[in-house]
Amino acid sequence: MFDTSVLLKDLKRHVDNDISPVAVEAARRQYSYLGHAKVSFLAPPSVKEAVAAEVQAVIDAAGVRRDLEIAQTDNSPRRMRNVGQADIFEFSKIIPQVYAAEPLLQAISAVAGESVHPCPWEPEQYIITCLEKDGDTHGWHWDDYTFALVWVVEAPPVSDGGFVQCVPGTSWNKDHPDVNRQLVNRPIYSLELFPGDIYLMKTNTTMHRVYPVKSGRRKIINMSYASTSDLSLTVDHRTMSYFRGVVPEEV
Ligand SMILES: O=C(O)CCC(=O)C(=O)O
Ligand SMILES: [Fe+2]
């Protein structure tokens, strides 16, 4: 069992004392040029272990199988087991607290180069995804809010897929998403990830996907954050709603 207040103190101590300004600066530059950066240094091992343990427990307790194609992202597939925000909130103690922890927000903001805020629409705040069957994938898409902080809990070797690919400098026209046009117009970057890694992505202007897994399992929690300008936008939540298990009436 984890003691939440001890973990939150660990997180604050880590952000205040242990993060190297050189590492932050390198990540900030990469993020600003390429729309993504590994930021595994953002959290101490104690917090990563606690988050990973909760991800494992929550997926076992509440994971729901999805096998969909999403029209608003050019019918790209979602083949996975996932758990939406409401169930994560119900089954976990640490994740909601880590998500909203002020030191974490400050550390993400330093890499992003602008203020980062919890998503004002709760169902979008965090989601757990497990790829576990041959061909499971989170297909090409953009996210509704500007930032995603993804914590990797399990990942297969690259030879079995499950790595992230992204195309920075693209934007989502929900009526004409034209995924293939973005793929031929711009370079694709691929990102190898290991358990314990964390990456930050500018997901509203970086089209991204998880390469289909051949075998093995991949588990992550994606924490979504809003920019200051997101806070004053009216965001159309329909795409994610269906697949996050929120009924349309709640949108
Ligand atoms: O699984 C990943 O690394 C990315 C997840 C993602 O893109 C999302 O949840 O919107
Ligand atoms: Fe995404």
pLDDT at 116 over 70: yes
Helix (H, G, I), strand (E, B) or coil at 23: helix
pLDDT recorded at residue 75: 93
Q: Where are the domains of the chain?
A: 4-250
Domain with residues 4-250, CATH architecture = Sandwich (2.60)
N- to C-terminal Cα separation, the chain: 35
User: What is residue 14's DSSP assignment?
Assistant: I
The encoded tokens of residue 222 equal: 């994606």
Checking if the pLDDT of 200 tops 50, the result is: yes
- Nearest-Å Rg of the Cα atoms of the chain is 17
Instruction: Name which of 31-40, 90-99, 238-247 the model is least confident about.
Output: 238-247
Distance of CA 86 to the CA centre of its chain: 16
Ligand 1 atom nearest to 164, measured from its CA: 3
Tell me the pLDDT tens digit for each residue of 145-175. 999 999 999 999 999 999 999 999 999 998 9
In three-state secondary structure terms, 190 is: strand
220-249 pLDDT per residue, tens: 999 999 999 999 877 777 665 555 655 444
Neighbours of ion ligand 2 (CB under 5 A): 143
Q: ∠198-204-206 over CA atoms, to 5°?
A: 65
* Nearest residue (CA) to ligand 1, atom 2: 210
Confidence of residue 251 (pLDDT cuts 50, 70, 90): very low
Query: What is the chain's mean pLDDT, rounded?
Result: 94
For ligand 1, atom 10: residue with the closest CA: 143
